[in-house]
Amino acid sequence: MAGPTGPTGATGSSITGPTGPTGATGPEASASGNGSTGFSGATGFSVTHNFAKYPAVTILDGSGNEIEASVVHDSVNQFTVSFNSTESGTVFYNAGGVGPTGATGSMGAKGFCITPFDSDDSVVVGNGTIAFTVPAAINGWDLTSAIASVHTKGVTGTTDIQIRRRRAGSDADMLSTKITIGDEYYAADGVINTSSDDIATGDQIYIDVDAIHTTAPLGMSVTVQFEE
């Protein structure tokens, strides 16, 4: 026969061990991405994207047609859009991500922004020194449009802009009529030179300034659009 149950023993103490060492810092995330922002009845607005780089910007109306606008990159994390009249639509911006879907029936269009002068730099006459290199993904495509904008417009006269293609050491003007910015912040009046509008992998695309206002504008960006 079993004896009676004995008394419960005292509860033991719990001791937490020391904290282990901090692990190594992981790699920094890539500053690429894409996004879109809808707008309605606007004459201008700012977009903060936090990509830490200047994205390509495309603005479309509700029918998928591109809207002409001035796009000024205020910093590597924000840009400002300005229209000449009230507009509605969507602005697409990408820095290495997927862009907006092109029109049905083709591979669509791709736009690329080249910024030869930062927003606080005076625009000067001369051949461009910052190039966009054509990737294999758009080999054989054609230049179909271009729009140039300035951060602060010039005074008296015009600023004339040429788009230059450099291929295997040879240069060719891609516009038969240059883009001319007058008393305005942007212009898209250039005429494509159909003899030199094609691009190939490895081509370099430069922005040349052939004339400036008497009082030079500040900052310049040019968006070139290519289609298959």
**pLDDT tens track of the chain, all 228 residues?**
545 555 544 444 333 445 545 444 333 333 456 788 889 999 999 999 888 888 888 898 888 888 988 988 888 889 999 999 999 999 888 875 444 554 444 457 888 999 999 999 999 999 999 889 999 989 999 999 999 999 999 999 999 999 999 999 999 999 999 999 999 999 999 999 999 999 999 999 999 999 999 999 999 999 999 998
- Alpha-carbon dihedral angle through residues 203, 75, 211, 206, given to the nearest 10 degrees: 0
pTM of the full predicted structure? 0.56
Per-residue model confidence (pLDDT) at position 103:
46
Residues 6+ apart with CB under 8 A from 106: 227, 228
Distance, in Å, from the CA atom of 57 to the CA atom of 71, rounded to the nearest integer, reads 8
Please state, in angstroms and rounded to a whole number, the distance separating the CA atoms of residues 163 and 112: 13
Q: Residue 91 and residue 103: Cα distance in Å, rounded?
A: 16
Here the tokens at position 136 are 């294999």
DSSP bridge partners of 191:
177
Residue closest to 189 by CA, chosen among 170, 162, 164, 218: 162
Q: Please give the Cα distance from 121 to 159 (Å, whole number).
A: 15
Q: Are 142 and 198 in contact (CB under 8 A)?
A: yes
**Residue 107: predicted pLDDT:** 55
Q: CA 38, 39, 43 angle in degrees (round to 5)?
A: 145
CA dist list (Å): 113 to 14, 21, 43, 129, 157: 63, 46, 21, 15, 25
Give residue 221's pLDDT.
93
Burial 15-52 (b: 16+ CB within 10 A, else e): eeeeeeeeeeeeeeeeeebbeebebeeeeeeebebebe
Cβ pair 226, 142 in contact under 8 A: yes
* Residue 171 structure tokens: 């240069």
pLDDT at 35: 82
Tokens of 215: 């009082």
CATH 2.60.120 corresponds to the domain 109-228:
yes
Domains of the chain: which residue ranges? 32-98, 109-228
